[in-house]
Amino acid sequence: MGLDVQALREEFPILQRQIDGHPLVYLDNAATTQKPQCVIDAITHYYSHYNANVHRGAHRLADEATKAFEAARDTIAGFINAAQREEVIWTTGTTEAINLVSHGLAHILEPGDEIIATQLEHHANLVTWQQACKASGASFKLAPITETGELDLAAFEALLNSNTKFVAFPHASNALGTLNPIKALTAKAKAVGAWVLVDGAQGIAHERVDVQDIGCDFYAFSAHKIYGPMGMGVLWGREELLRDWPVWQTGGEMISTVTYTSAEWNVLPYRLEAGTPNVGGAIAFGRAVQWYQQLNVAEVHAHEQALLASCTEQLSTLEGLTIHGTAPNKVAVVSFTMNEGHPADIGFLLDRQAIAIRTGHHCAEPLMAHLGVPGTARASFAAYNTLSEVDALAQALGKVKMMLA
């Protein structure tokens, strides 16, 4: 039967928009996905019916808000197959989740320790570790990639040794689309006793995530890349690590008892969630995940892979166009440059034709330097994109070529 993409599209009010009289073609999903009506409604309903602070009020609204907020945590825990709900820590996004981990790690790192990340990294999973190493005297190593934009597995393995304290890599690259063999990478890193963090910002919306099966210690992701609201994310971590992880922000909620001169910390997950959380955001995140789960995820996956294949095939026929990232296993991201013009010009001219893509370094400046390009133009797909939108992109790029020639 396949995915009913038209029915799906009707759930997204923004996809009905016109740009200069043309239907919007939204191909910037790796930057953020659009939101279905039910997610928008979840936010509105929260603020119009039961807005209250959680875990503290002695009234009906506070009780309802707390229940919905904690139910959202259960939804996320189930979605990623966390062993315990307390392992799901709310954050403002992937970036904050990674910073939470690195803040704690900074208390533990010593000169002589080594951290490994990869050349594929988004700045969030690069600068954070680079700076943690600078501050502690630990050394920072980068696993290289091959011509196709895949991790060089032998080189990755060669970097691992008994000094390796921490290993971080992306589930999928936002800039090239490369899907990493995260289970195998994790197993190799765990074999030398390192802690492993997977940056799941791109993986979560495209791949089935089972944190216990992956075997990693931390998995970080953002709501807004999986049909949820902005400003919400999750750090999942193994309970025995998070239980003792150095607290990173102090204030309300994260304490158990306080005197003027001392404080004791709350239990998980609250010890790592200081202050009033984004309650409506968490509830809407839970709703987004429920919405996603009621789709046939295998069908969504097949559909996105068909979009990727069609886009790759059509763009490859355009002379002077280079696709960056040609790994056999990719999420639906196509990054490219054209001989005729700068990525920014491509983006501008596509926008004139109502096609939204992203151009620039995609928060992966060192990777762009490594590829020898100033940046790329990137089309990235979600469940609601159609094969005719891919055709529209290919046709529009044909025009762009002529305009720039």
Ligand X SMILES: *Cc1c(COP(=O)(O)O)cnc(C)c1O
* Site track 90-109 with ligand X (rule: CB under 6 A), x = hit: ---xxx--------------
Only segment of 197-205, 263-271, 276-284, 373-381 that touches ligand X (CB under 6 A): 197-205
Residue 186 binds ligand X, judged by CB under 6 A = no
Kindly report whether the peptide bond that precedes residue 181 is cis, defined as omega within 30 degrees of 0.
Answer: no
Residue with tokens 């966390």: 82
**Which contacts of 218-224 are long-range, i.e. CB under 8 A and separated by 24 or more positions?**
218/97, 218/101, 219/80, 219/171, 220/91, 220/94, 220/97, 220/98, 220/101, 221/94, 221/97, 222/93, 222/94, 222/95, 223/93, 223/281, 223/284, 223/285, 223/288, 224/32, 224/33, 224/93
Only segment of 88-96, 152-160, 304-312, 342-350 that touches ligand X (CB under 6 A): 88-96
Residue 125 binds ligand X, judged by CB under 6 A = yes
Residue 178 binds ligand X, judged by CB under 6 A = no
Cα distances from 221 to residues 63, 226, 289, 389, in angstroms, run 28, 9, 12, 27
The answer to whether 231 and 85 are in contact (CB under 8 A) is no
**Binder to ligand X among 104, 149, 170, 280 (CB under 6 A)?**
170
**Binder to ligand X among 86, 87, 150, 199 (CB under 6 A)?**
199
Residue 201 binds ligand X, judged by CB under 6 A = yes
**Binder to ligand X among 119, 174, 180, 380 (CB under 6 A)?**
174
Residues 38, 133, 216, 363: which is the catalytic one? 363
Shortest reach from residue 339's CB to ligand X, in Å? 27
Only segment of 67-75, 106-114, 130-138, 194-202 that touches ligand X (CB under 6 A): 194-202
Separation of alpha carbons 101 and 168, rounded Å? 11
Only segment of 120-128, 180-188, 273-281, 392-400 that touches ligand X (CB under 6 A): 120-128
Geometric angle at alpha carbon 301, from 295 and 304, rounded to 5° = 110
Only segment of 87-95, 242-250, 263-271, 370-378 that touches ligand X (CB under 6 A): 87-95
Shortest reach from residue 183's CB to ligand X, in Å? 18
Residue 198 binds ligand X, judged by CB under 6 A = no
How many residues in the shown chain lie near ligand X by CB under 6 A? 12
Q: Is 216 marked active-site?
A: no
Separation of alpha carbons 198 and 196, rounded Å? 7
Shortest reach from residue 72's CB to ligand X, in Å? 18
Dihedral over alpha carbons 29, 33, 34, 36 (to 10 degrees)? 130
Separation of alpha carbons 219 and 384, rounded Å? 26
Shortest reach from residue 7's CB to ligand X, in Å? 28
Cα distances from 27 to residues 38, 183, 312, 358, in angstroms, run 22, 29, 14, 8
Residues 221 to 240: which contact ligand X by CB under 6 A? 222
What residues make contact with ligand X under the rule CB under 6 A?
93-95, 122, 124-125, 170, 174, 199, 201-202, 222
The catalytic residue positions are 363
